[in-house]
């Protein structure tokens, strides 16, 4: 079937045409353009709880949740009230505020980060963490993993996941060769490759950065060998060579569990990252992100130290109000609900695909999961090469069949599905009802 077969899209199509006349690709972030799945991107006008409402009057159960931030669902009444109250006190002062202190205290209370600085996007957070790691170690090289996305930082675009994977861009033009040359890209979960890189370049490596549990090539959990997780291995290896371990929790932070991915591995195994990055959930749907970690490393930051970093809107009071209220409401009950909902949806999707005879794999990490349209007999995706070996045409058919039935999935085979506290029985039932027909569409593709 052709994209857009089942739903009304006239208003979205007209807006998309206007958008393309004034904005590259018609979107302000590439994955929104539906390039990987075809058809008309839906222009959303309003969102409540688990539901999105578009310009044509279609309603969708939202399994993107703004790509992670909306942990409590859309338009949560207490978050909305906190934001309205903050707005009524003025929207930006360019001074320190109580809200910033309280948001950072909440982050420090949940994570092993001893000091935290607020920024406005995950990209800024990873960019600043890399600069700080280089400043602290006096070294230039950065180790990253293929399929991990850390924002559109020059040094981190090489073999990145998310939109870079979807669009099959091998890095990006515009990144100076010298910058790309300072980035070593290794296969995820490949300990021998990490050991070899450190054996050869150990005294020049400033840091290893990784998604704490990759979600930008689909969900690929860190692998365990003899009871030791991949993150513990990276932390120990970096330390042995005087390099820093940077754990990017922009996606997993306050989502994979109450304490993020660290709560699922570091807290159990007794290690802590040297630096961490956060974003998405901690901004409650506003532009807020953070980086933090060891006090002695963070002490190098301006104004205490020589490594410069700043932001006009960093710690914006409205964003802090949304983030703080979101984190305070994100109780253990919320995480149990996300866990149960993820299990229900993942199991049902797998059952429907199996019934339709579609080879696939479901991978879980904490409250996050994703579906891989793998070949028959594949039992695990452990890295980017595995994630790329997917039947993307089946995903496209599955995606559009779900969309036509009012379920908004990430428009790419390389993304996690996100649920929220607002995904109640009605929303879940709506998704379950859509799965069999979508599975049949995938089978027929």
> Is residue 31 close enough to count as binding ligand PMP by CB under 6 A?
no
Looking at beta carbons, which residue is closest to ligand PMP? 122
Out of 144, 188, 280, 383, the active site residue is: 280
The residue among 368 and 401 lying less far from ligand PMP, judged by its C-beta, is: 368
Least CB distance to ligand PMP at residue 429 (A): 29
**Three-class DSSP labels, the chain:** CCCCCCCCCHHHHHHHHHHHHHCHHHCCCHHHHCCCCCCCCCCEEEEEECEEEECCCCEEEECCHHHCCCCCCECCHHHHHHHHHHHHCCCCCCCCCHHHHHHHHHHHHHCCCCEEEEECCHHHHHHHHHHHHHHHHCCCEEEEECCCCCCCCHHHCCCCCHHHHHCCCCCCCCCCHHHHHCEEEECCCCHHHHHHHHHHHHHHEEEEEEECCCCECECCCCCEECCEEHHHHHHHHHHHCCCEEEEECCCCCCCCCCCHHHHHCHHHHCCCCCEEEECHHHHCCCCCEEEEECHHHHCCECCCCCECCCCCCCCCHHHHHHHHHHHHHCCHHHHHHHHHHHHHHHHHHHHHHHHCCCCCEEEEECCEEEEECCCCCCCCCCCHHHHHCCCHHHHHHHHHHHHHCCEECCCCCCCCECCCCCCCHHHHHHHHHHHHHHHHHHHHC
> Is residue 121 close enough to count as binding ligand PMP by CB under 6 A?
yes
Binding flags for ligand PMP, 57-76, as an x/- string (CB under 6 A): ----------x---------
Least CB distance to ligand PMP at residue 67 (A): 6
The residue among 220 and 391 lying less far from ligand PMP, judged by its C-beta, is: 220
Q: From the list 151, 229, 266, 410, which residue makes contact with ligand PMP (rule: CB under 6 A)?
A: 151
**Stretch binding ligand PMP (CB under 6 A), from 144-152, 217-225, 267-275, 417-425:** 144-152
Contact positions with ligand PMP (CB under 6 A) in 406-435: none
- Per the annotation, the verdict on 93 as an active-site residue is no
Q: From the list 182, 251, 288, 362, which residue makes contact with ligand PMP (rule: CB under 6 A)?
A: 251
Contact positions with ligand PMP (CB under 6 A) in 289-308: 289
Binding flags for ligand PMP, 368-387, as an x/- string (CB under 6 A): --------------------
Least CB distance to ligand PMP at residue 168 (A): 18
Q: From the list 123, 128, 350, 420, which residue makes contact with ligand PMP (rule: CB under 6 A)?
A: 123
- Per the annotation, the verdict on 203 as an active-site residue is no
Q: From the list 248, 274, 383, 404, which residue makes contact with ligand PMP (rule: CB under 6 A)?
A: 248
Binding flags for ligand PMP, 261-280, as an x/- string (CB under 6 A): ------------------x-
Size of the chain, expressed as the number of residues it contains: 445
Q: Are 370 and 215 in contact (CB under 8 A)?
A: yes
**Stretch binding ligand PMP (CB under 6 A), from 7-15, 88-96, 246-254, 368-376:** 246-254
Out of 4, 56, 149, 265, the active site residue is: 149
Contact positions with ligand PMP (CB under 6 A) in 209-228: 211, 216
Q: From the list 12, 58, 126, 189, which residue makes contact with ligand PMP (rule: CB under 6 A)?
A: 126
- Per the annotation, the verdict on 149 as an active-site residue is yes
Q: From the list 74, 110, 144, 150, which residue makes contact with ligand PMP (rule: CB under 6 A)?
A: 150
Binding site residues, ligand PMP, CB under 6 A: 67, 121-123, 126, 149-151, 162, 211, 216, 248, 250-251, 279, 289
- List the catalytic residues: 149, 248, 280
């Amino acid at each position: 079937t052709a994209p857009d077969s089942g739903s009304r899209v006239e208003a979205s199509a007209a807006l998309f045409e206007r958008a393309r006349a004034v904005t590259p690709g018609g979107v302000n972030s590439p994955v929104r353009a539906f390039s990987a799945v075809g058809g008309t991107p839906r222009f959303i006008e309003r969102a409540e709880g688990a539901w999105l409402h578009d310009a044509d009057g279609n309603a969708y159960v939202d399994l993107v949740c703004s790509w992670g931030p909306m942990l409590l669902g859309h338009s949560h009444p207490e978050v909305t009230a906190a934001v309205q109250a903050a707005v009524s006190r003025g929207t930006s002062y360019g001074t320190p505020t109580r809200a910033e202190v309280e948001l950072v205290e909440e982050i420090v209370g949940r994570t092993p980060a001893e000091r935290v600085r607020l920024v406005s996007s995950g990209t800024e957070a990873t960019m600043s963490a890399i600069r700080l790691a280089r400043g602290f170690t006096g070294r230039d090289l950065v180790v990253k993993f293929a399929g991990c996305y850390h924002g559109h930082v020059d040094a981190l675009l090489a073999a990145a996941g998310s939109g870079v994977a979807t669009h099959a861009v091998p890095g990006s033009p515009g990144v100076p060769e010298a910058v790309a040359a300072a980035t070593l890209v290794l296969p995820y979960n490949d300990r021998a490759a990490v050991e070899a890189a450190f054996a050869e370049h150990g005294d020049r490596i400033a840091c290893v950065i990784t998604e704490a549990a990759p979600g930008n090539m689909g969900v690929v959990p860190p692998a365990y060998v003899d009871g030791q997780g991949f993150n513990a291995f990276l932390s120990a290896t970096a330390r042995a060579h005087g390099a820093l371990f940077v754990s990017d929790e922009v996606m997993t932070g306050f989502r994979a569990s109450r304490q993020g991915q660290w709560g699922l591995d570091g807290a159990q195994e007794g290690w802590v990252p040297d630096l961490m990055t956060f974003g998405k959930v901690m901004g409650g749907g506003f532009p807020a992100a953070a980086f933090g970690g060891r006090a002695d490393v963070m002490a190098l930051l301006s104004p205490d130290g020589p490594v410069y970093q700043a932001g006009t809107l960093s710690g914006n009071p409205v964003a802090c109000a949304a983030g703080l209220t979101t984190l305070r409401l994100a109780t253990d009950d919320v995480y149990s609900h996300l866990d149960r909902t993820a299990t229900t949806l993942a199991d049902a999707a797998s059952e429907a695909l199996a019934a339709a005879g579609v080879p696939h794999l479901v991978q879980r990490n904490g409250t996050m999961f994703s579906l891989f349209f793998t070949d028959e007999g594949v039992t695990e995706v452990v890295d980017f090469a595995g994630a790329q070996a997917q039947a993307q045409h089946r995903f496209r058919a599955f995606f559009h069949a779900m969309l036509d039935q009012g379920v908004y999935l990430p428009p790419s085979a390389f993304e996690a599905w996100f649920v929220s506290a607002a995904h109640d029985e009605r929303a879940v039932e709506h998704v379950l009802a859509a799965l069999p027909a979508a599975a049949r569409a995938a089978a027929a593709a």
